[in-house]
A and B are shown apart, each in its own frame.
Chain A
Amino acid sequence: MNSIHVKHKWEPYLWLLPSLLLIAIFVVFPILIVFKLSFSEITPGGVIGGFIGFQNFVEAVHLPPFKTVMLNTFWWVLSVVGLSTLLGFIIAMVMNQKFRGRKIARAILVFPWATSLVIQASIWNYIIKYEYGSLNSVLLNLGVINQAINWRTSYPIEFIWECGVGIFVTVPFVAFCVLSGLQSIDGSLYEAATMDGAGFWSKLWNITLPMVRPSLTVSTVLNIIYVFNSFPIVYTMTKGAPAHKTDTMITYLYMLSFYERKKGPATALSVIGFLILCLCAGIYMVTVMRKEETQ
Chain B
Amino acid sequence: MKKLLAFLLALVMIFALAACGQTEEKPAEAPAEENAPEAAGDEIVLDVIICQYGPNTNEWFLGSGMNGTNFVAKFEAENPGIKLNLEVVSWNDVHQVVDTRIANNNPPDILNIDTFSEFVPDGLLMPVKDYCPEDLYNDFFPAFIAESVIDDTVWAVPDLASARALFYNVDLLKEAGVEVPTTWAELEDACQALLDYYGGEVYPWGIDMTTDEGQACFAYYAWGNGGGFVDAGGNWALNTPENIEAVEFAVGLVQKGYTNPNPATETRYDLQDMFAAGKLAMLLTTNQLPTYVADKGGNINMATAAIPANEGKTGSSVGVMDRIMVFKDDAAPDQAKRNEAIGKFLKFFYDPENYVGWVSMEGFLPAVNSAVEALVASDPSFGAWLDVLGSCQFYPAAKAEWATVRQGVTTVEQNALIGGDVKEGLDALQAEVAG
Contacts and interface: CB of A to CB of B under 8 A. Distances in A.
Task: Report if A and B touch in the complex (beta carbons < 8 A).
Answer: yes
Interface of A: 42-48, 64, 129-132, 150, 152-155, 158, 237-245, 255, 257-263
A69 to B, nearest CB: 13
A240 B414 CA distance: 10
A43 B211 contact: no
A155 B418 contact: yes
Nearest to A152: B262
Contacts of B277: 132
B428 to A, nearest CB: 7
A117 B102 CA distance: 28
The CB with the most chain A CB atoms within 10 A, among B100, B120, B211, is that of B211
The CB with the most chain A CB atoms within 10 A, among B120, B265, B412, is that of B265
Given A155-B418, A260-B407, A47 B124 contact: yes
B279 A131 contact: yes
Contacts of A130: 261-262
Interface string B88-129: 000000011011101100000000000000111110100000
Interface string B402-435: 0110111001101101101000000010000000
B273 A131 contact: yes
A43 B122 contact: yes
A45 B102 contact: yes
B382 to A, nearest CB: 31
Contacts, number: 96
21 contacts: A43-B122, A44-B118, A45-B120, A46-B100, A46-B102, A48-B103, A64-B428, A130-B261, A130-B262, A131-B273, A152-B265, A153-B261, A155-B418, A238-B264, A241-B209, A242-B415, A242-B418, A243-B415, A243-B420, A244-B411, A263-B99
- Main DSSP-derived SS at the B contact region: helix
Nearest to A242: B414
Given A64-B428, A158-B265, A44 B270 contact: no
A238 B266 CA distance: 9
Nearest to A254: B96
- Main DSSP-derived SS at the A contact region: loop
B102 A47 contact: yes
A186 to B, nearest CB: 23
B265 A241 contact: yes
Nearest to A131: B274
The CB with the most chain B CB atoms within 10 A, among A132, A154, A261, is that of A261
Contacts of A150: 261-262
The CB with the most chain B CB atoms within 10 A, among A129, A131, A152, A242, is that of A242
A48 B104 CA distance: 9
Interface in B54-88: none
Question: 10 tightest A-B contacts by CB?
Answer: A242-B414, A46-B102, A242-B264, A239-B211, A243-B415, A44-B118, A243-B414, A241-B264, A46-B99, A45-B122
